[in-house]
Structure 1
Amino acid sequence: MKTIKTGVLEAAYLEVGPADGPPIVLLHGFPYDVHAYNDIAKILAAAGKRCFTPYLRGYGPTKFLNEQTMRSGEQAAMGADVLAFLDALKLEKAVLAG
């Protein structure tokens, strides 16, 4: 499990696949977590893809950097989190699935 600071979060995530592979971000939903994608991430990695599976806000070890940050599960907040995750990893583009 890796972590990275992404805007308002310290996001925990799994990464599999070659470092130079085209990136795919696998986004879980309620009530699942990153492990819902274990099997497919292995298949994609074997096909040369670089897969990132972050714990979304409110899940697993992902945490807010500041306890004063307003908690929100709105799609806009989740979208901002995904963009911040991509920026933190310096990924200009990625396939999103979930």
Structure 2
Amino acid sequence: MSEQQVKTTLLDVNVHVAGPADGPTVLLLHGWPDDATTWATVAGHLNEAGFRTVTPELRGFGGTRFRSADTPRTGNSGILAYDAIDLMCPSSDDLGHSAVFRSGGSGPSGVRG
């Protein structure tokens, strides 16, 4: 696993990336009061099954920082969805490509080797 800092429109997002670079991408979003490490076990199973996992630290968590003091400090679900889209769009960084979004899922039992 590597940690990367990705610049988006509003944030400098700390992102945990693991798995094969050419594998299908799964975006794993944590909730409150959890953090990106919540997904460590699930990400490991996905990586073993050939998926690349992208697990950002959402606004207000870990190393993620607001780029401007003028950005409203909110964590409502709509703005978190915007942050996820902004993170995965090709203009933000090399993370941008066809992504499979998972905000919950069935956990490791849904992964087949």
**Scaled by the length of structure 1, what TM-score is found?**
0.93
Task: Provide the residue aligned with 2:7 in structure 1.
Answer: 5
Amino acid at match of 2:65: K
Report the 3-state secondary structure (helix = DSSP H, G, I; strand = E; otherwise coil) of the residue aligned with 1:40: helix
> Greater Rg, structure 1 or structure 2?
2
| Count of residue pairs brought into register by the alignment | 98
Given the alignment, which residue of 35, 59, 63 partners 2:37? 35
Q: 8 Å contact 1:26–1:51 — kept in the other structure?
A: yes
Percent of aligned pairs sharing the same letter? 35
After TM superposition, list the pairs within 5 Å mapping 1:18-29 onto structure 2. 18-29=20-31
Deviations 1:21-45 (A, max 9, x none): 0000111001110111111111100
User: Which one scores higher on RCO, CA 8 angstroms, separation ≥ 6?
Assistant: 1
* CA distance in structure 1 between the partners assigned to 2:51 and 2:98 by the alignment: 15
Given the alignment, which residue of 93, 97, 101 partners 1:95? 101
After TM superposition, list the pairs within 5 Å mapping 1:15-94 onto structure 2. 15-87=17-89, 88=92, 89-94=95-100
Amino acid at match of 2:15: Y
Q: Which runs of 5+ in 1 are unaligned?
A: none
* CA distance in structure 2 between the partners assigned to 1:84 and 1:47 by the alignment: 27
Runs (4+) off by over 6 Å = none
Report the 3-state secondary structure (helix = DSSP H, G, I; strand = E; otherwise coil) of the residue aligned with 1:72: coil
* CA distance in structure 2 between the partners assigned to 1:92 and 1:48 by the alignment: 15
Q: Which one is further off, 64-73 or 49-58? A: 64-73
Q: CA deviation at 1:75?
A: 1.3
Superposed CA RMSD in Å reads: 1.1
